Amino acid sequence: MDKNLSILIKQVVDRKEELIDLVKDLISYKTPAPPARNTKDAQEFVAGFMKNLGFTIDTWDVYPNDPNVVGVLEGTDSENYKSLIINGHIDVAEVDEAEQWEVDPFTPVVKNNAIIGRGAADMKGGLAGAMFAFQLLHDAGVKLPGDIIFQSVIGEEVGEAGTWECCKRGYKADFAVVVDTSDLHIQGQGGVITGWITVKSEKTFHDATRRSMIHAGGGLSGASAIEKMMKVIEGLQELERHWAVTKSYPGFLPGTNTINPAVIEGGRHAAFIADECRLWITVHYYPDESHEQVATEIEEHILGIAKADLWLRDNLPTFEWGGTSMIEDRGEIFPSLEIDPNHAGVKLLASTHEHISKQHAIIDVSPTVTDGGWLGEAGIPTVIYGPGDLNNAHAVNEQVSIEQLLEYTKVILAFIYEWSFTKKSS
Residues with Cβ < 8 Å from 306, sequence gap 6 or more? 231, 232, 312, 313, 316, 317
Backbone angles phi, psi at 59, to 5 degrees: -135, 140
Residue of 91, 165, 332, 389 marked catalytic:
91
Backbone angles phi, psi at 199, to 5 degrees: -110, 125
The Cα–Cα gap between 161 and 323 comes to 10
Strand duo 114-116 + 276-285: pairing: unpaired
Residues with Cβ < 8 Å from 175, sequence gap 6 or more? 82, 83, 84, 85, 343, 344, 345, 380, 381, 382, 419
The Cα–Cα gap between 408 and 411 comes to 5
Residues 241-274: b if buried by 16+ CB within 10 A, e if exposed: eebeeebebebbeeebbebebeeeebeeeeeebb
Residue of 156, 183, 377, 407 marked catalytic:
156
**Active site (annotated) includes residue 314:** no
Half-sphere exposure of 171 (CA within 13 A, CB side): 33
**Active site (annotated) includes residue 91:** yes
The Cα–Cα gap between 121 and 298 comes to 35
Catalytic machinery residues: 91, 156
